[in-house]
Structure 1
């Protein structure tokens, strides 16, 4: 049975999921699993993971520039002001996934983000507090050892929904946590496992909820 590792032409072993697609491999090597601590970037990644629901991540990745253009570079302050006219324009935009429910959820999520920011100390602190500010290191050796959700992703999903975010179920949130380095799910034999394991999170934050 395959462990989930692929040996590439450059002699490096990588997780199975990017295959050999150059764009996907670059994402795997430079972004996935790297601890993200920027508020706006975390909002963007959470929204894009919501748009991924029912689709493959490479589908979203190939349209990421289109999403950024359509959604004001994912500036929540701008998105929060979107109204019916902007929604209809987005529904005609072939550069994104034209799903009305997800578009409207993005606007509601921007407003929820701003509410968290106003309370302080910010969206990154709100999210990272679920892992005490430190990336989880489960050390999966095979793809079978990587779950699709966890107790932490269920707790984060519940908290996000309570704040008003949409398309943030436990499975979406777990994928988000993997992407932003809150959990290092690179397989142990992957060339990126060790480098990501050496990267710190923001530390314990103690954010009240």
Structure 2
């Protein structure tokens, strides 16, 4: 079955991610926080590395429960810094906790990250029709705008390239290649 170039001859984890998650619209707030965290953790690393550690991330970050992560103390930071099953970068860990605290405040005010993100595209995924992986941009005006607005709101480690990948991860952008015939993809 034809898949996007990066998922062809990939590991089972990568293939499963491609087939069932990447580009699939999600409005699940906890999943969105997970993807935001995994995408920021991936900066400078391969996505395969992050997928290999995903189960460890889920345990280490209380299954991405925003309220629990927002309540993390210095003791939790040290626990995470010593956890060899995750990316132990001090700045990325601090950004994750910071981002959870912002989301917690939003939730207390009745706002969700999902609603905020999906308003940029009027609630509908943007479906691109790229022919090759080389055509996929590292960032777009949309990811640059969202990155700018997230930084303004206080989020950290949310540059336009990270946000581009994040938007693909939660299905706001469907960047499956036109030759990809997996489930929800272009057929």
Same fold (TM over 0.5): yes
Q: Is the 8 A contact 1:184 1:197 kept in 2?
A: no
Which runs of 5 or more residues in structure 2 are unaligned?
A: none
State the partner residue of 1:150: 140
Q: Aligned-pair distance for 1:161?
A: 1.2
Q: Aligned-pair distance for 1:85?
A: 0.8
Deviations 1:75-103 (A, max 9, x none): 01001111111101111101101100000
State the partner residue of 1:71: 61
Between the aligned partners of 1:166 and 1:44, the Cα distance in structure 2 is 15
User: Based on CA coordinates, which of the two structures has the bigger radius of gyration?
Assistant: 1
Residue 139 in structure 1 maps to residue 139 in structure 2: no
Q: TM-score, normalised by structure 2?
A: 0.95
CA RMSD, Structure 1 to Structure 2 (Å): 1.4
Residue 166 in structure 1 maps to residue 150 in structure 2: no
Q: TM-score, normalised by structure 1?
A: 0.85
Deviations 1:37-95 (A, max 9, x none): 11111011011100000001110011011001001110010011111111011111011
Residue 13 in structure 1 maps to residue 12 in structure 2: no
Between the aligned partners of 2:152 and 2:162, the Cα distance in structure 1 is 16
CA shift in 2, pair 1:195/1:76, >3 Å: same
Aligned residues: 186
User: Which structure shows the bigger proportion of residues in helix conformation?
Assistant: 2
Which runs of 5 or more residues in structure 1 are unaligned?
A: 1-11, 199-209
Map 1:32-47; keep pairs closer than 5 Å.
Answer: 32-47=22-37
Between the aligned partners of 1:144 and 1:57, the Cα distance in structure 2 is 17
